Amino acid sequence: MSEKLGKTIKLTHLVAVSSLDFKKYMTGERDFLVTKTNKTTKRGDSVIIRELNIKTGNKSGRQLSRVIVRVAQKVDGVDDGSIVLYI
């Protein structure tokens, strides 16, 4: 998904997380995502976090929307090819 604002295109990225992690995002206990590198991901984009039942693989239907405030390319302890999105 994308939305054009002036000359800047804002993208919306979709991420599925476990129920336990979803609760941490919902309460504000966790404010970052680690994901595979996507060269189009940038500050100001949105991320939709969807709750996923790990046992069944089904989405619960619950989701959160957050704005990416920072993208970190190289972070100690994070695999090469992954980035950290601060939300």
For the CA atoms of 24, 47, 49, 23, the dihedral, rounded to the nearest 10 degrees, stands at 10
For 1-46, what is each residue's pLDDT tens digit?
555 555 678 889 999 999 999 999 999 999 999 988 777 889 999 9
Number of domains observed in the structure of the chain: 1
Instruction: Identify any residues that bridge with 10 across adjacent strands, giving them in sequence order.
Output: 3
Q: Helix, strand, coil: what percent of the chain each, to 5?
A: 10, 50, 40
- The side-by-side arrangement of strands in the sheet containing 70-72 is 32-36, 82-86, 70-72
- Indicate the pTM of the whole model: 0.79
Instruction: Identify any residues that bridge with 72 across adjacent strands, giving them in sequence order.
Output: 84
d(CA 12, CA 68): 10
Closest CA to 70 of 45, 39, 38: 45
Domain holding 28, by residue range, is 2-86
For 65-76, what is each residue's pLDDT tens digit?
999 999 988 788
Whichever domain contains 45, its CATH number is: 2.30.130.30
